[in-house]
Structure 1
Amino acid sequence: MTVRQNPSPTGTLPLSELAFGAAGIGNLFAPVSDQDAELAVEAAWRHGVRYFDTAPHYGLGLSERRLAAALRGLPREQYILSTKVGRLLEPSSSVEGDDLAAGFAVPATHRRRWNFSAHGVRRSIEDSLERLGLDRIDIAYLHDPDDHAHQALTEAYPELERLRAEGVVGAIGIGMNQAELPARFVRDTDIDAVLLAGRYSLLDQRGLTELLPLAAEHGVSVVIGGVFNSGLLADPRPGATFDYAPAPDALLARALELKTVCERHGVPLRAAALRFPFGHPAVASVLVGARSAAEIQDAAAMLHHPVPAALWAELKHRRLLGPDVPVPQAVD
């Protein structure tokens, strides 16, 4: 079974319901071989994934290079690729050690430098195009401008507008693991998309407070990442992580209760977690990081697992979801 395609931010390019997050093939936390990276992308394509997301940050450019190699030869008009701006990669004078302090098992060949200036944005896009071997970026996201909000709004965003007008960038977005600043961009700019990580899941619906209603009102497409909240909703157990830190006891207990309800309806918790964001009309795609063919195959299977309406009703009855939280239509 292949994943469905949804309208894109610009309304002209489709976003597949399931998106491939390429941080994993940038050696996030542990090495991945070139072959496994290529097989993961091939499996995604085979299952109908046509939206691929990467960033210079991921493996100091390794993710972009590997994604380029895996997509080479595939019809360019059939897939959407997004990358990000905000971190420039500067060559290190000498290669000493690895990049694990930043989360990636790669040699420290470069150092990252925050830069949301107009010049930095243009250079970042040019560097990404060279690593990707492409002549355009379908979606360019402002990447984690938490501490650079003013410069991102007054310098980086206008430069992305110029690049969009030139046809170098097809759509503009902002990608963050908070909902408040993206909401400001939806209100105050003409962005096309938001990549929201971890803030619209079965455990955390902060994106619903302001961002998602604003996005629906302004016609901004939302891509949801982190639906498993870095592992807790994939496999809730003692020692599981939430937002890359050990999960507090109360959250673990809540995740275990979610799992129990799902199992009572014959639904894996992973399937409910993947399907949940589509209850909101602003959500166009769910992004899942994958480092192997098996992981992407599992994600595709879970996304299409039948989820009965009774499951969502019980989650609300047990107050595991608020009464006003929108839920997907049943997939039986």
Structure 2
Amino acid sequence: MSHPPHGPRELGPSGVTVPPLGLGCAPLGNLYRAVPEEQARDVVHTALATGAGYFDTAPHYGVGLSEERLGRALRGHDRAGYTLSTKVGRRLRPLAPGERAAGEGFVGTPARARVRDLSRDGIRATLEASLERLGVDAVDIVYLHDVEDHVREVYETGFPALAELRAQHVVRAIGFGMNHSDVLARLVADLDVDVVLCAGRWTLLERTAFDDLLPECERRGTSVVVGGVYNSGLLADPSPGAPYNYAPAPAALVERARQLASVCAQFDVPLKAAALRFPFGHRTVASAVVGAATPEEMAENAALFTHDIPDALWHTLVARGLLDPDLPLPLHH
């Protein structure tokens, strides 16, 4: 049996540890649908209760709403009892009179606008505002967020600003968060980062990060947090029209996901459990952050994470051509 990963993992040489399962907090910022305040609080409390005490948020998520709700939900909890990451690269400002907010997938959000800002002062101001919304003195990890189209600014000001914050012990671990594994690979190769958050590129359906990012992380001693293990929905429910990378999935991928689900069913393993476990086959992976909009979803993810998976399942997926034979499998050792 493949036992679930357990126990905290250190991120690079930072001294920051994360549990293997964390909560992605975009849904707390009303991603696609409004989440009531009490429900958001219950999601966070369920994460703490199930041992998934790593919370990843960002100013981008609901233009600050996710951070505010997370801060309120964590109030009164021992700060040493959970790990917290947020992101920089988008500064928030109040809307001008008559200005309409750009939702970017979030609904019912505060009257604020996002501004791209990778300047040193902008990054410091962005982090300060995040700490205020979160109601904490410090976060453990800061990621530069979705900077794939701003790489020159990353090298010139963005990364130096983050490195300075780490050197001054304002934050303990720094890195990048995005879904472009090729850009992440280049940044990891060139810059001294503790951790990267890579969404959607190292999953049961996608090996991109295995080919470009993960070897670089292994060489550099950089840890990986995986996001998007369900590829935005297709691996959670492989039905026609299911979302994949935030758009309807192509028919061929739906069919492949259904075949994956069918093999999993033969071993009494939910597809979601296999999708959650798969990335841990690679030794650089420290944690998976998964979003949840209800406490039930969070509890389900925690239960799926502990599901026993026989090694024969992975070998069968390879034999059926559903996983490439060169991929590392999360086998029981």
What TM-score do the two structures reach when normalised by structure 2?
Answer: 0.96
Preserved CA contact (<8 Å) 1:5 1:16:
yes
Counterpart of 2:286, as a letter, is A
Alignment correspondent of 2:51: 48
1:233 matches 2:245: no
Preserved CA contact (<8 Å) 1:3 1:300:
no
1:8 matches 2:11: yes
Of 240, 264, 271, 2:273 maps to 271
Preserved CA contact (<8 Å) 1:121 1:159:
yes
Alignment correspondent of 1:58: 61
1:179 matches 2:198: no
Counterpart of 1:62, as a letter, is L
Could you say what secondary structure the match of 1:105 adopts? coil
- The equivalences for 1:176-215 within 5 A come to 176-215=178-217
Preserved CA contact (<8 Å) 2:15 2:172:
no
- Cα distance in 1 for partners of 2:48, 2:196 equals 23
Preserved CA contact (<8 Å) 1:3 1:49:
no
- Cα distance in 1 for partners of 2:305, 2:98 equals 42
Alpha-carbon RMSD: 1.6
Alignment correspondent of 1:290: 292
How far apart are residue 330 of structure 1 and its match? Answer: 3.2
Of 69, 74, 78, 2:77 maps to 74
Preserved CA contact (<8 Å) 2:64 2:110:
no
- Cα distance in 2 for partners of 1:107, 1:93 equals 15
> Which stretch has the larger CA shift, 268-277 or 102-111?
102-111
RCO higher in 1 or 2 (8 Å CA, sep ≥ 6)?
2
Could you say what secondary structure the match of 1:267 adopts? coil
- Cα distance in 2 for partners of 1:92, 1:30 equals 22
Preserved CA contact (<8 Å) 1:8 1:15:
yes
- Cα distance in 2 for partners of 1:16, 1:62 equals 24
Preserved CA contact (<8 Å) 1:86 1:114:
yes
1:83-123 deviation line (CA, Å, top 9, x unaligned): 001111111023666654x1111245111111111121111
Preserved CA contact (<8 Å) 1:53 1:81:
yes
Counterpart of 1:106, as a letter, is G
Preserved CA contact (<8 Å) 1:4 1:48:
no
Counterpart of 1:280, as a letter, is H
- Cα distance in 2 for partners of 1:163, 1:72 equals 25
Could you say what secondary structure the match of 1:52 adopts? strand
Counterpart of 2:293, as a letter, is R
Preserved CA contact (<8 Å) 2:34 2:107:
yes
- The equivalences for 1:59-138 within 5 A come to 59-94=62-97, 99-100=102-103, 102-107=104-109, 109-138=111-140
Could you say what secondary structure the match of 2:205 adopts? coil
Could you say what secondary structure the match of 1:329 adopts? coil
- Cα distance in 1 for partners of 2:272, 2:9 equals 21
> Which stretch has the larger CA shift, 179-188 or 197-206?
179-188
- Cα distance in 2 for partners of 1:296, 1:95 equals 38
1:35 matches 2:38: yes
How far apart are residue 234 of structure 1 and its match? Answer: 0.2
How far apart are residue 7 of structure 1 and its match? Answer: 2.0
Preserved CA contact (<8 Å) 2:181 2:201:
yes
How has the CA–CA distance of structure 1 residues 271 and 21 changed in structure 2, closer, same or farther, with 3 Å as cutoff?
A: same
How has the CA–CA distance of structure 1 residues 167 and 197 changed in structure 2, closer, same or farther, with 3 Å as cutoff?
A: same
Percent pairwise identity: 48
1:26-49 deviation line (CA, Å, top 9, x unaligned): 100110011000000000000001
1:241-282 deviation line (CA, Å, top 9, x unaligned): 100111001000100000000001110000000000000000
Alignment correspondent of 2:144: 142
Of 199, 203, 221, 1:219 maps to 221
1:182-220 deviation line (CA, Å, top 9, x unaligned): 111111111100000000000011000121111112111
Could you say what secondary structure the match of 1:328 adopts? coil
> Which stretch has the larger CA shift, 91-100 or 121-130?
91-100
What TM-score do the two structures reach when normalised by structure 1?
Answer: 0.96
1:149-206 deviation line (CA, Å, top 9, x unaligned): 1101221100111111111111111001010111111111111000000000000110
Q: Which runs of 5+ in 2 are unaligned?
A: none
How has the CA–CA distance of structure 1 residues 185 and 141 changed in structure 2, closer, same or farther, with 3 Å as cutoff?
A: same
Alignment correspondent of 2:318: 316
- Cα distance in 2 for partners of 1:304, 1:325 equals 22
Q: How many residues align?
A: 330
Of 302, 305, 326, 1:303 maps to 305
Q: Which runs of 5+ in 1 are unaligned?
A: none
